[in-house]
Amino acid sequence: MFGVTSVERDIYLKAHGKGRVGKEGLEGELNGDTASWICSESKLITHVAALQLVERGDLALETPVSNYLPQFEKVIIVNEATGEWRPAKRVMTVEHLLHQTSGLFYSGGSSDGVPDWDQDLHNPYTAPQDPHDPVGKFLGLIKGDLPDIPVKFEPGTDWAYGWSSDILGFVIEKVSGMSLEAYLQKFIFQPLQMRRTTFLPTASEQIKENMIRISFRKTLGDGTMEVVPWGHRYYETDPDKVDLFCGGGHLISSTNDYLAFLRHLLQIYAGSAQQPIVGRNRIMELFESSLDPTSQRTMEEFMRDVMPVDGVQWSRGQAVTLNDWPGMRREGSGFWAGFLNTYYWIDPKAGIAAVLQSQYFPPLDSRFLTLREMLEKTLYSGLEGGAK
C-alpha cells in the first residue's frame, strides 16, 4: 500500500495485493483502510505525544527518567561482547529518550540491529503481560539477570536504537495519569479522525475484519520467492489481555490514518493547521538535528545499508536528512521505517509526505527497499517544483 499526501489533501493511494495468506493462497483485497502493524512508525506518534506534554508544561526535558520510573535510578553500562558491566555516572533524562541517546538498546537482535521479536517468554515485547505491574515486568525482562537496567554507554554521549520510545510512552502514562492508548486516542487519534489506529485491534470488528496478516517471503531453491503465513505471535491483540502499551512499536494503523497524521504535521509546519494538536515550534523540533558528531557517526553507521547518500541525523522523534537525495526527498525531510517493511517520509520543503506499508519478513527486504526508491523517484519526477 502506497499513499501520498500534500499539505491540503491526499494526492495518491494505491493498494496492491491480498490481505491474508491462507491455505487457499492470497485472499482479501487491500485498501487504504486496511490495518497493519506499523512497528517503529509508532515512535513518531509517541514522540509527538511527549512534545504535547512538554508544550503544556507537564513534562520537562531535563527531568530524570527515574522521577517517573524508579528502576532507572541506577543503570549499568554493559559490554555485550564480554558481559562486563559498570555503574553509569550520568543520569538518564527525558530528552535522552527523545533523542535515542539514552543508551537503551534492543538486546538479542538480528544483524540489522532490531530484535528478533519471536514468541519468547523472555522477550519484553512478546512475553505474557502482568496485569498487576505490566511496566515492571517489561523493565524486569530488559534487566534480565543483571543487577540493573543495561545501557550501551553513558546516557547522552552516543546514539543507540532500542527501548527509548517505549520508556517514553511509560513516562507519558505517569505524567498524564492515563494509559498510552487512552492518551493517544484523546489527544491525537480522535482529533485527527484516525479511527483505525490503536493498540487494541481486535476490540473493533471493523479493524479486525480488514487487517492484513503477517507473512514471510522466503527464497526457494530455484531463486524464486514465495510468501507464506507466519504463525508466531508478535504482540498481544486480545483487548482483555493487553495491559502494556509499547509506544516504540506496537501500534496498529491504516495507510489512510497515517497519511492523515503526516498531513497534519505538514499543515502545522506550514502554519495552516486548523486546531493543531501541538504548536509549530515543537513540530519544528522533529526536523532539527539533535546529535553531536560522535552520535551522528554511530547513527549513520547503523543506517549505512538503507541510505542512498551520506548525511542523516536524529531529531526529537525521527531521522532527518542533511542533504537532498538526488531525484527524491529534500534536505530537512523526516523519515523512519518499521520491522515488517513499513516506511514513511515527510518532506516539508516539497510539501508532501508518503507512506509505504507492507506486512512481511525479512525486515529491510531488498525488494522492498528497491520498490521504495523507485516509487519515490517516480513521485518526485512528476512534482514540477513541489506539491501544492
Name the nearest CA neighbour of 187 among 10, 34, 50: 50
Q: Are 344 and 43 contacting, i.e. CB atoms less than 8 angstroms apart?
A: no
Indicate if 236 and 370 belong to the same structural domain: yes
**Which of the listed residues 179, 206, 224 is the one where a domain comes to its end?**
179
Listed ranges 105-119, 228-242, 264-278, 357-371; the one with the highest mean pLDDT: 264-278
- Residue 280 has a pLDDT of 97
- Give a yes or no: residue 114 inside a domain: yes
Specify the residue for cell string 491462507: 22
Indicate if 11 and 59 belong to the same structural domain: no
What is the edge-to-edge ordering of all strands in the sheet holding 149-151?
85-87, 75-78, 149-151
**pLDDT band, very low/low/confident/very high, at 52 (cuts 50, 70, 90):** very high
Indicate if 173 and 195 belong to the same structural domain: no
Residue/partner pairs of 295-302 with CB below 8 Å, 24 or more apart: 295/99, 295/101, 295/157, 295/158, 295/159, 296/159, 298/158, 298/159, 298/160, 299/100, 299/159, 302/113, 302/159, 302/161
Alpha-carbon distance 29 to 52, whole Å? 37
- Give a yes or no: residue 341 inside a domain: yes
Alpha-carbon distance 233 to 359, whole Å? 14
Contacts of 278 (CB under 8 A, 6+ apart): 48, 51, 52, 55, 268
**Which of the listed residues 179, 212, 243 is the one where a domain comes to its end?**
179
Q: Which domain holds residue 247?
A: 2-41+182-381
Indicate if 18 and 143 belong to the same structural domain: no
Indicate if 117 and 240 belong to the same structural domain: no
Using DSSP's 3-state secondary structure scheme, residue 304 falls into: coil
Half-sphere exposure of 167 (CA within 13 A, CB side): 32
Indicate if 68 and 15 belong to the same structural domain: no
Q: 65-74, 224-233, 369-378 — which is least confidently predicted?
A: 224-233
Indicate if 368 and 258 belong to the same structural domain: yes
Whole-number average pLDDT of the chain: 89
Amino acid letter for position 264 = H
- Residue 241 has a pLDDT of 83
What CATH number is given to the structural domain containing 282?
3.40.710.10
Alpha helices in 79-162 (DSSP H): 94-99, 134-143
**Mean pLDDT throughout 284-289?**
98
pLDDT tens-digit map of 308-355: 778 999 999 999 999 999 999 999 999 999 999 999 999 999 999 999
Name the nearest CA neighbour of 230 among 215, 219, 240: 215
Indicate if 340 and 254 belong to the same structural domain: yes
Global pTM value: 0.92
Beta strands in 132-234 (DSSP E): 149-151, 215-219, 225-229
**Mean pLDDT throughout 84-98?**
98
- Give a yes or no: residue 29 inside a domain: yes
Number of domains in the chain: 2
**Which of the listed residues 141, 157, 179 is the one where a domain comes to its end?**
179
- Give a yes or no: residue 49 inside a domain: no
